């Protein structure tokens, strides 16, 4: 598959669509958030991690995680 950042062909990681630290205000006491869809066929449910997709190769995921740590501070 093709990495969405560097456009190289590689095995893609299960990357956060939005940085994990940005979900913090949404989490309840059990570290989960309520997912509500506009699609009537999809039930409401809880997630314990932010939304993820196969987006980035491992080197890009690693590079981006360093930038996310900097942004979190």
pLDDT tier at 2, thresholds 50, 70, 90: very high
How far apart CA 35 and CA 51 sit, in angstroms, is: 10
**pLDDT digit string, tens, across residues 55-66:** 999 999 999 989
11 neighbors 56 (Cβ within 8 angstroms): no
**pLDDT digit string, tens, across residues 23-55:** 888 899 999 999 999 999 999 999 888 889 999
Q: What is the pLDDT of residue 30?
A: 92
Both tokens of 62, joined, read 């690693």
What 36-42 contacts at long range (C-beta under 8 Å, 24+ apart), as own/partner pairs, is: none
Both tokens of 12, joined, read 């893609």
Q: What is the pLDDT of residue 48?
A: 87
Look at residue 15 and tell me whether its pLDDT is greater than 90.
yes
């Amino acid at each position: 598959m093709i990495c969405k950042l560097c456009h190289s062909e590689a095995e893609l990681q299960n990357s956060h669509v939005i940085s994990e630290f940005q979900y913090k205000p949404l989490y309840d006491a059990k570290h989960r958030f309520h997912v509500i869809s506009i699609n009537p066929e999809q039930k409401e449910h809880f997630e314990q991690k932010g939304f993820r997709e196969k987006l980035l190769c491992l080197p890009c995921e690693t590079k981006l995680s360093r930038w996310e740590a900097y942004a979190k501070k």
